[in-house]
Amino acid sequence: MNIENSAVPAPQEDDPLLSAGLKIAMQWGQALDADKLKVALEALEPQLKREHQLRVKQLELQKQRHQAEERKEKRRHVLHMAGLVVGMVIAIAMLGAGVYTVKDAWWLGVLLCGPVLLGALKIFVLRRSDKADMDAALGAAKLGINEAGQSQQQPPPPPPPAV
């Protein structure tokens, strides 16, 4: 049995793996007669089926892992966007409250629009908090409490004289 009179197509040069496989098959065909080759191929078939089933299972597992990673990334994105929305709502509420209260208690307006606002935004939007942020918010809160205490101790200024 040789290449010219066999039913097997000639190896193609563009696919080296197929070409090498066909060459090996032809060499086996030349070394063995047709009956022995048939028996050898039948003995090899269960192993090839097992390898194919293993490869199919590996591909299914790889697909499941990829889908799980996509779901995880989607949940991470939803969580990040929710943090952005909540952070912006809190920021707008704190700014509005700060502007509203500044006419009655300026220290509360400064407290709501200052480092406390920045600390809250950093927690919700960036999902992290540093010691320096908390120290700045604590310092602003202490200053506001001190100013509130001093403004309550001082009597209100007298009204201007009537003309």
Distance CA 160, CA 24 (A): 111
Least Cα distance to 122 among 94, 91, 99 occurs for 91
Choice among 28-32, 41-45, 113-117, 122-126 with the minimum mean pLDDT:
28-32
Q: What's the pTM? A: 0.53
Residue 142's pLDDT band (cuts 50, 70, 90): confident
Distance CA 146, CA 31 (A): 100
